[in-house]
C-alpha cells in the first residue's frame, strides 16, 4: 500500500498542475465584444489596446486595466444654480451626448472624466448665462447649447472624449418669476383673444357691407338691363314700322305710282298722325297744296 501511494503521488500532482495550468490558460483568454476596447498594461505600464475579437494575455504579467465602451453615451447632470445678468437665480438641467474616441487618453487623461465634465459644464454654463438676462436665457437655448458644446468639445479633447451634442433639459426660474410669467402669459392670451374677436366682428361687418354692396349693384344692373331691353324693344318696333314704310314705298315705286297717289298716301299718313295726342303738327307744303285742291273740288261739287 505504501508503495502504490508513493508511486501515485507524482501522477496526482502532475494532473493537478495540468488542470491548474489549463484553468489559468482559459482564464487568460478574452473575447472583446463589438464597440468595446480593453486597455492592457504589462508590468504596470500601458501595453496595447484590444479591439473586438479573441485575445490572450500573459498570466501575471498582462492586466486588463479598463474596459471602455465606444458607443455614444448620454449623461444627465443634476440641475445647477445659475445667476443671470439681471440677478435672477434659476436651476438649469443639462444633458450631454458624447463618445470616447481615444480609450488610452480616456483612461490616463483624467482621474474621473465624468466628474470633470460635470464641473466643467457647470462653470461654463454659469459663464454663458451670466452674460444673458432672464428673457434672453429662456429664448436662447440654441445659442447656449452651441456655445456650451463648442467649449466642452475643445476642453475634453485631451481626455479622448468628443462631445456631440449638449441640450438644456429644463430651465426652472424661481417661484415668483414663474407666477409673474404665468400672469403675463394669461394677459397675453386674453389680449390675443380680444384682438381675434375684434377682427372677427370687423370681418363680419365687412362681409355684410360687401353683401349689401353686391346686392345694390345687382339691383342696379337689373334696372339697367330692363331699361336696355325696353329701349331695344322700342327700337325694334320703330325699325319694324320704318321697314314696313320702306317696303310700301318700294312697292309703290315698283308699281310706278303717280305723284297724286303718293300725295294721297301722305295725306292718309298725316290723318293717322293727327289722330294721336300730339298738340303741334307740322304739315308739309305738298300736303297743304293737296288739301287745298281737295277743298276746291269739294266746293265745285
**pLDDT for 292 beyond 80:** no
pLDDT of residue 265: 60
Q: What is the pTM of this model?
A: 0.56
pLDDT of amino acid 150: 92
In this prediction, residue 71 carries a pLDDT of: 92
**SS3 state of residue 24:** helix
In the prediction, which pLDDT does 164 show? 93
When pLDDT is cut at 50, 70 and 90, the band that residue 72 belongs to is: very high
E strand intervals along 57-156: 62-69, 73-83, 89-100
Mean pLDDT in the chain? 81
pLDDT at 3: 44
Rounded distance, CA 81 to CA 54, Å? 48
Q: How far is CA 8 from CA 2, 5, 13, 19, 135, in A?
A: 10, 5, 9, 17, 88
- What's CA 105's distance to the chain center, in Å? 45
Confidence of residue 96 (pLDDT cuts 50, 70, 90): very high
pLDDT at 1: 45
* pLDDT interval class at 264 (50, 70, 90): low
Angle between helices 285-300 and 259-274 (to 10 degrees): 100
C-alpha cell at 149: 458644446
Q: pLDDT tens, 46-69?
A: 999 998 889 888 888 989 999 999
What pLDDT was estimated at residue 237?
A: 82
- Residue 118 confidence (pLDDT) above 80: yes
Amino acid at each position: 500500500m505504501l508503495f502504490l501511494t508513493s508511486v501515485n503521488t507524482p501522477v496526482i500532482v502532475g494532473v493537478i498542475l495540468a488542470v491548474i495550468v489549463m484553468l489559468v490558460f482559459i482564464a487568460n483568454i478574452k473575447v472583446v465584444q463589438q464597440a468595446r476596447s480593453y486597455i492592457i498594461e504589462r508590468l504596470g505600464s500601458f501595453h496595447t489596446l484590444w479591439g473586438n475579437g479573441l485575445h490572450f494575455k500573459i498570466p501575471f504579467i498582462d492586466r486588463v486595466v479598463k474596459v471602455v465602451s465606444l458607443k455614444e453615451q448620454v449623461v444627465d447632470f443634476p440641475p445647477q444654480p445659475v445667476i443671470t445678468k439681471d440677478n435672477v437665480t434659476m436651476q438649469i438641467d443639462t444633458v450631454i451626448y458624447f463618445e470616447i474616441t481615444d480609450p488610452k487618453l480616456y483612461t490616463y487623461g483624467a482621474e474621473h472624466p465624468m466628474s470633470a465634465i460635470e464641473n466643467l459644464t457647470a462653470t461654463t454654463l454659469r459663464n454663458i448665462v451670466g452674460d444673458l438676462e432672464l428673457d434672453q436665457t429662456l429664448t436662447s437655448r440654441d445659442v447656449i447649447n452651441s456655445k456650451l458644446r463648442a467649449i466642452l468639445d475643445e476642453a475634453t479633447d485631451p481626455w479622448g472624449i468628443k462631445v456631440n451634442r449638449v441640450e438644456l433639459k429644463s430651465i426652472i426660474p424661481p417661484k415668483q418669476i414663474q407666477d409673474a410669467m404665468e400672469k403675463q402669459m394669461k394677459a397675453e392670451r386674453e389680449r390675443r383673444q380680444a384682438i381675434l374677436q375684434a377682427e372677427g366682428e370687423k370681418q363680419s361687418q365687412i362681409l355684410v357691407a360687401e353683401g349689401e354692396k353686391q346686392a345694390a349693384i345687382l339691383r342696379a344692373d337689373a334696372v339697367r338691363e330692363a331699361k336696355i331691353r325696353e329701349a331695344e324693344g322700342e327700337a325694334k318696333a320703330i325699325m319694324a314700322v320704318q321697314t314696313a314704310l320702306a317696303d310700301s314705298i318700294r312697292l309703290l315705286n315698283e308699281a310706278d305710282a303717280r305723284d297724286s297717289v303718293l300725295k294721297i298716301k301722305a295725306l292718309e299718313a298725316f290723318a293717322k298722325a293727327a289722330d294721336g295726342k300730339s298738340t303741334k303738327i307740322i304739315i308739309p307744303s305738298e300736303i297743304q297744296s293737296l288739301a287745298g285742291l281737295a277743298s276746291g273740288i269739294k266746293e265745285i261739287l
